[in-house]
A and B are shown apart, each in its own frame.
Chain A
Amino acid sequence: MSTTTVEEPTEVAAAPEPFWTRQRRFGVALVLLGGLAAVLFGSLAPSKDARFTLTQDADGAAISINGQLGAVLFGVLAVVAGGLLVAGLLKRWSNTLLVIGIVTFVLSFLCWQVAGQFMSLEDTLSGTMDLALPLVLGALAGVLGERSGVVNVAIEGQFLMGAFAGALIGTMAGSVWAGLISAAIGGVIIAAILAVLSIRYLVDQTVVGIVLNLFALGITGFLYERLMQPDAVKYNAPPQMPTVKIPGLADIPVVGPVFFDATPLLWIALILVVVIHFGLNRTRWGLRTRAVGEHPTAADTVGIRVRGLRYLNVLLGGVVAGLGGAYFTLVATGSFTKNMTAGAGFIALAALIFGRYTPIGAFGAALFFGFAQKLAFYLSAINSPVPNQFLSMLPYLATIIAVAGLVGRVRAPAADGIPYVKS
């Protein structure tokens, strides 16, 4: 009989936390922003009602507030939220406080802008969702690739191929579903090239991605001019994806018309967010994917096929990004045009990073970017003095701030972009 005693290692107190934690720095930023909002927006805003209507029209049910009062009030609320963060109170709720701070800042801005006018909440939400939809799918494609260790900057190229294939095959087959499937295949084609070059031939993944974007732009542009333009009816008039209305639910104000009187592609995107979130965190596939993206050698030593899993994930990403491409030709507009994605793939990439490489985060970031874009449209429509270009640049600004680590560091998977070579 053997008796082995093993003593637990003695715990030593961790180093004290520095005073300027992430929360505190956020708090200071919020106090400054909120103060700015209360003073600047408050003084600029006319003392007229700002009406936020529930429907598309100026009339009907609405939430109203005096613009000046609202601008000051919400600005002060942002200061309060920031102050609580700095003071280190309510630590458990610090993320909630942060969200409250940002939302109240935006509301203060809106009160100033909308004073004397109206803003339709339904229109804003539906516009946000429309603009965010391809970004969500593109960012999810990025999540799939990057969590397994393959950098995918070719989302833009996958969008273009998806949009093109969707339009071409959709028109020729006369079926929107055939178009949708073809769009996915279009995305997979780009993904396959990316996968083979980066996983098998170890080419620098960023370079391959950029080359693929140019390739996709070139080939779709060429085929558009030579094939589609001469005979648009035959090759470039895809049927549009129908909206499906769910009776009852569609009558809920604001949310109903946006989510329950929508195209199936929106539902697909929302379902994918949930599926990929739980897939990554709760399934065998997800655990292995994350392991391969963080420490491929460790995965290899327990018998996981590192390269195989990376191929699988990049190709799955191609499917998802291709579906995102379908949005452009089968949902948003009725035909393909040259370079019609206009950099949406890069904003999706930004959403991926801003969302910290997680499905839920990427979804939130895509929504935020969609909202900023929608707001830019709205401001130009009401002839706002704020240049709408300013809002258009928000996604990029937000990404730079996120990547620069000013708001807490974004940590990419450790083996992201590094090809796996057995030693």
Chain B
Amino acid sequence: MLWIVHQAFPTSGEIPLKLELRGITKRFGDLVANDHIDITVEPGEVHALLGENGAGKSTLMNQLYGLLQPDEGQIVVNDEPQVFRSPRDAIASGIGMVHQHFMLVPVFTVAENIALGAEETRGGPLGWLDRRRARRDVIETSKKFGLPVDPDALIEDLPVGAQQRVEIVKALTRDVDLLILDEPTAVLTPQETDELLAVMRSLTEMGKSIVFITHKLKEVKKIADRITVVRRGKIVGTASPDTSEDELAALMVGRAVSLEVAKGPADPGRAVLQVSGLVVDDDRGIRAVDGVDLEVRAGEVLGIAGVQGNGQTELVEAVMGLREVRAGTVELDGEGLAGMSTKKILRSGVGYVPEDRSHDGVVKEFSVAENLVLDMYDREPFGNAFRLDVAKVAGNAKERVEQFDIRTQSAASAVGTLSGGNQQKVVIAREMSRPLRLFIASQPTRGVDVGSIEFIHGQIIHERDQGTAVLVVSSELDEVVGLADRIAVMYRGRILAVVSPDTPREEIGLLMAGITGGNEEKK
């Protein structure tokens, strides 16, 4: 089905919105999350807010949307200072926001979610919902802006791309003139991203302004009219879209960085991990991995590309013994892993970086030193069944902190006080300290600053060059392409194809969207 939108000018009654942030400052304890931020967003422009994770972008936008109140400074809409005590005030002033984690009730229909908070009622004190009007409003907005959504579908049944459209329609039905998009492309395929960029463009043509929060340089260059770069809570510069990616990256990180992963050709050896016919269910009992065959060889990196939620998580968890294998086999050098405990799998030479670092990777309240021996605390030299050799643990920590460039005040600091990138280095340092045959990394650089990304990628390649088989799962296509020697594209629980990293992006993007065809290089 094709939706065609013919709309050129703002419909009557809509006043273009000009937004100014003047000297916005927000502190959390000692941390200055936003330090005197001044930004002006002109009507009809896409204003990109570029910065690393933790730079303070989301904090700033949450103040603009009334979820947080600034400690200092002013929000000025069309030359009038405003105070937003809640999102309701922000919406009333014409500001809408699409959050990075969608704010949709999974068991509600699309129409219910869109109506929520601004319900049409048939009048009277009862507040009887006018469901027909709610549906009609959704369909109208959806047509007007070229964003196809089915008003009667349940959110939990929709793919993320469709959920995002619902979020945008939700904001647009509230007649907002400025739309904040917080990391909107994080969950999209390249094609969906292009569609979203096209939607953004058409919205600005209708007179809406867009604040586009991201850390992805390519997208910024493609769509933004103006770029403001934020680092550690401060504005460090503004740039035009002609600025080169390297310059933008340097501005964002504060020093020159290399965006390419440096690596030589792989020298694949024997097959270390062999998965065949693997079937795994997710938490709800729905089939998540549906007959996966794959093979990772010693000395190569196999990357798994795919939009999040296509079974990658369950696949890795099944290999690690964290999730029940329904059917099929998982073999490490010919030895079956299914049914083995995770502890045993780890100790038979598998390193594992889980995707949810703060839940599964580290114990935040524990010190860096303790986190570094979580895998081996009951083994010599660190201890035995009854005792922990504190001196050895501390000695080990000192070594690892240096070797892996972990920036911490001391090895005794709680891991929770470290930045995301340094927490991840703790996990990687721990997992690489055992003699490994197989190294599995899920989303190895999620929420990690650019400087640490470089380092972590280097470590992964180093591990490969030592003859370890490496499996990398990432929803960032750039990362997979940069690291992998072979790329397996996963879609709806299946590996659609295994391709070389030289394959054109568009082709991989199509595979990520489940569209096969073209020249597949079957392993």
Tell yes or no: A288 within 8 A of B by CB. yes
Residue A89 at the chain B interface, CB threshold 8 Å: no
A4 touches B515 (CB 8 A): no
Given contacts A8-B1, A283-B129, A294-B108, contact A302 B6 (CB under 8 A): no
Chain A CB within 8 A of B5 CB: yes
Q: Is B514 an interface residue (CB 8 A)?
A: yes
Which chain B residues lie closer than 8 Å to A422 at the CB level?
67
Interface string of A1-17 (1 = CB under 8 A from B): 11111111110100100
- B221 CB within 8 Å of chain A: no
Q: Interface extent on B, as a size class?
A: 35 or more
Q: Which of B86, B148, B170, B514 contacts A303 (CB 8 A)?
A: B86
Q: Is the CB of B147 within 8 A of A6?
A: yes
**Other-chain residue from A6, A12, A304, A414 in contact with B198 (beta carbon distance below 8 A):** A6
Query: Is A92 an interface residue when CB atoms closer than 8 A count as contact?
Result: no
> Does A282 lie at the interface of the complex (its beta carbon under 8 Å from any beta carbon of B)?
yes
Kindly name the residue among A3, A283, A298 whose own CB sees the greatest number of chain B CB atoms within 10 A. Answer: A298
Cα A6 to Cα B119 with chains together (Å): 28
Nearest Cβ on chain A to B180's Cβ, whole angstroms: 11
A284 at the interface (CB under 8 A from B): yes
8 Å CB contact of B117 from A1, A295, A302: A302
Chain B residues with Cβ under 8 A from A356's Cβ? none
**A364 to B203 alpha-carbon distance, docked (Å):** 51
Known pairs A9-B161, A294-B105; A287 contacts B198 (CB<8 A): no
Q: How far is the CA of A1 from the CA of B202 in the complex (A)?
A: 10
Asked if A261 lies at the interface with its beta carbon under 8 angstroms from chain B, I say: no
Q: A10-B515, A290-B108, A422-B67 are in contact. Are A282 and B199 (CB under 8 A)?
A: no
A302 touches B202 (CB 8 A): no
Contacts of A291 in B (CB 8 A): 105, 108, 116
Say yes or no: A284-B106 contact (C-beta < 8 A), given A3-B4, A303-B91, A304-B116.
no
Q: How far is the CB of A81 from chain B (nearest CB, A)?
A: 26
Q: Is B162 an interface residue (CB 8 A)?
A: yes
A285 to B129, CA, bound (A): 9
Contact of B106 among A3, A5, A414 (CB under 8 A): A414
- Are B3 and A8 neighbours in the complex by a CB distance under 8 Å? yes
A302 partner, pick from B118, B146, B148, beta carbons under 8 A = B118
CB under 8 Å from chain A, chain B span 1-29: 1-8
State whether the Cβ of A272 lies closer than 8 Å to any Cβ in chain B: no
Could you tell me the distance in whole angstroms from the C-beta of B401 to the nearest C-beta in chain A? 31
Among B103, B127, B147, B286, which residue has its beta carbon within 8 angstroms of that of A301? B103
Question: B446 near A: Cβ within 8 Å?
Answer: no
B103–A297 touching, CB < 8 Å? yes
Which residues does chain A contribute within 8 Å of B201, judged by CB atoms?
2, 4
Please give the distance in Å from B402's CB to the nearest CB on chain A: 35
Pick from A283, A300, A414: contact of B127, CB under 8 Å: A283
- Quick check: is B466 within 8 A (CB to CB) of the other chain? no
Cα A5 to Cα B147 in complex, Å, equals: 9
| Residues 164-184 of chain B, each 1 if its beta carbon lies under 8 Å from chain A, else 0 | 000000100000000000000
> Given A4-B146, A6-B147, is A15 in contact with B290 using a C-beta cutoff of 8 Å?
yes
The answer to whether A2 and B7 touch across the interface, beta carbons within 8 angstroms, is yes
With a CB–CB cut-off of 8 A, which chain A residues contact B127? 283-285
A290 to B117, CA, bound (A): 12
Q: Which of A119-142 contact B (CB under 8 A)?
A: none
Set B107, B129, B492: member contacting A284, Cβ < 8 A: B129
Contact residues in B for A12 (Cβ distance below 8 Å): 492, 514
* B352 proximal to A (CB < 8 A): no
Task: Decide yes or no whether A299 CB sits under 8 A from chain B.
Answer: yes
Chain A nearest CB: distance from B89 CB in Å? 8
Quick one: given A290-B108, A294-B106, A298-B116, are A6 and B290 in contact (CB under 8 Å)?
no
**Which residue, of A15, A299, A303, A422, has the highest number of chain B Cβ atoms within 10 A?**
A303
Q: Are B198 and A4 in contact (CB under 8 A)?
A: yes
- Expressed in whole angstroms, the Cα–Cα distance for A262 and B118 within the complex equals 42
Interface residue ranges of B219-241 to A (CB < 8 Å): none
Which residue from A8, A290, A301 sits with its C-beta under 8 Å from B87? A301
Does B104 sit at the interface, judged by CB under 8 A?
yes
Contact in complex: B202, A4 (CB < 8 Å):
yes
Interface members, chain A 291-321 (any B CB < 8 Å) = 291, 294-295, 297-304
- B287: A residues at CB distance < 8 A: 15
Q: Give Cα A10–Cα B159 distance, bound, in whole angstroms.
A: 11
B4 CB contacts on chain A under 8 angstroms: 3-5
Give the chain A neighbours of B117 by CB distance below 8 A.
288, 299, 302-304
Rounded to whole angstroms, the CA-CA distance of A220 and B138 in the bound complex is 54
A406 to chain B, nearest CB (A): 14
Inside 8 A of A414's CB, which chain B residues have their CB?
106-107
* Nearest A residue (CB) for B98: A301
For A298, the chain B residues whose CB sits under 8 A away are 102-105, 113, 116
In the complex the two chains form, what is the Cα distance from A297 to B97 in whole Å? 13
Bound form: Cα–Cα A2–B198 in Å? 10
B108 / chain A contacts, CB cutoff of 8 Å: 290-291, 294
Contacts of B290 in A (CB 8 A): 15
**Known interface pairs A15-B287, A295-B105, A301-B99. Does A4 touch B148 (Cβ–Cβ under 8 Å)?**
no
Is B67 a contact of A288 with CB atoms below 8 Å? no
**Complex contacts, A302 vs chain B, CB 8 Å:** 87-88, 91, 103, 116-118, 170
B455 at the interface (CB under 8 A from A): no
CA distance A304 to B131 in the complex (A): 19
Residues B286 and A15 in contact, CB atoms below 8 Å apart: yes
B295 at the interface (CB under 8 A from A): no
In the bound assembly, the distance between CA atoms of A285 and B202 in angstroms comes to: 36
Interface string of B122-135 (1 = CB under 8 A from A): 00001111010000
The answer to whether the Cβ of B350 comes within 8 Å of any Cβ in the partner chain is no
Residues of A within 8 A of B115 (CB): 287
Cα distance, A299 to B119, chains bound together (Å): 12
Quote the shortest CB–CB distance from A297 to chain B (angstroms). Answer: 6
Q: For the complex, what is the distance from the CA of A302 to the CA of B114, rounded to whole Å?
A: 10
Q: Quick check: is B195 within 8 A (CB to CB) of the other chain? A: yes
Question: B131's closest neighbor in chain A, by CB?
Answer: A282
- A288 contact set on B, CB distance < 8 A: 116-117, 119
Interchain CB contact under 8 A, A299 and B161: no
Instruction: Give the residue of A1, A15, A299 whose beta carbon is less than 8 angstroms from that of B6.
Output: A1
Q: Contact: A6 with B148, CB < 8 Å?
A: yes
Smallest beta-carbon distance A162→chain B, Å = 27
> What's the nearest-Cβ distance from chain B to residue A77, in Å?
32
Contact present for A6 and B116 (CB under 8 Å): no
| Cα A10 to Cα B87 with chains together (Å) | 35
CB distance from A296 to the nearest CB of B (A): 10
Taking a contact as CB atoms under 8 Å apart, the answer to whether A284 and B146 are in contact is no
B203, chain A: closest CB distance, angstroms: 10
Q: Give the distance in Å from the alpha carbon of A359 to the alpha carbon of B199 in the complex.
A: 43
Contact bitstring B185-218, A, C-beta under 8 A = 1, else 0: 0000000000100110110010000000000000
B198 A284 Cβ-Cβ under 8 A: no
Minimum CB–CB distance for B470 against chain A, Å: 30
Shortest distance from the beta carbon of A251 to any chain B beta carbon, whole Å: 35
Nearest chain B CB to A276 CB, angstrom units: 13
* Residues of B contacting A299 in the complex (Cβ-Cβ under 8 angstroms): 105, 116-117
State whether the Cβ of B121 lies closer than 8 Å to any Cβ in chain A: yes
Chain B residue, CB-CB nearest to A275 = B126
Of B99, B103, B119, B514, the contact of A287 (CB 8 Å cutoff): B119
Taking the closest CB of chain A, its distance from the CB of B7, in whole angstroms, is 7
CB closest residue in chain A, given B290? A15
- Looking at A12, A290, A302, A414, the one whose CB has the most chain B CB atoms below 10 A away is A302
A147 smallest CB distance to B (angstroms): 11
Give the residue name and chain of the A residue nearest to B146 (CB).
Answer: A4
Q: Are B146 and A295 in contact (CB under 8 A)?
A: no
Nearest 3 pairs of A and B residues by beta carbon: A302-B117, A303-B88, A284-B127
Q: What are 13 sample pairs from A and B whose C-beta atoms fall under 8 A apart?
A: A3-B6, A4-B199, A5-B3, A6-B2, A284-B129, A285-B127, A290-B105, A298-B113, A301-B103, A302-B116, A302-B118, A303-B88, A422-B67
Using A3-B6, A298-B113 as known contacts, list a sample of 10 further A-B pairs with CB atoms less than 8 Å apart, ordered by residue number in A.
A2-B7, A7-B2, A8-B148, A9-B162, A282-B131, A285-B127, A287-B112, A298-B103, A300-B87, A303-B91
